[in-house]
Amino acid sequence: MAGGPPFEVTVTHDGLDALARALRKESDGKQLRKELAKNMRDALKPAAAQAKSGIMAMASSGPGTAPALRSAIAKKIRPEVKLGGNWSGARIKAFKTRNIRGFANAPKRTNRARGWRHLTYGREPWVQQHGKTLWFDRAMEGDTNRYTAAVHEAMEAMARRLADRAR
């Protein structure tokens, strides 16, 4: 996707990096960083719930004995926060589903318009299957400003807390 996915919450990296640096200078900085990351993840939990409901709304192709694909994908959707390093920020991420039907990239493949190919019952012929197009991308459409504001508020609260300590 050109320009990055619409579901990633972007905050100014300078502000987040400055806040992370300020936390490192504090004596209990490690605990404060954990608390900031937790607050940012909590701010994004409703967005993760929207993404989970997006995949659960995908049509099922009938009963089977294999593990349920939609619920396996839904379990792998989580908010992710990183402070420092090469990438700093907060986002909703659908992690790979490694042990589900040998379909590690299920979140990615079910989201794309052209679908995916697989063998029928493990042998020829190959078939093309389509999931729910853009279930992940469209799940949080229209709410990104709300989640961005919630992440900013978590950052501001920690910055105010650090400023109050300095006084």
Q: What percent of the chain has pLDDT over 70?
A: 86
Tell me what pLDDT residue 63 has. 58
Residues 6+ away with beta carbon under 8 Å from 91: 7, 8, 9, 44, 79, 80
Q: Which of 29-38, 54-63, 79-88, 119-128 has the lowest mean pLDDT?
A: 54-63
Measured distance CA(68)–CA(74) in Å, rounded: 10
Q: What distance in Å separates the CA atoms of residue 74 and residue 52, rounded to the nearest whole number?
A: 5
Taking residues 20-26, report their average pLDDT.
79
Statement: residue 130 has pLDDT above 60: yes
What is the model's pTM? 0.78
Are 56 and 71 within 8 A, CB to CB?
A: yes
Instruction: Find out whether 147 and 43 touch, Cβ atoms under 8 Å.
Output: yes
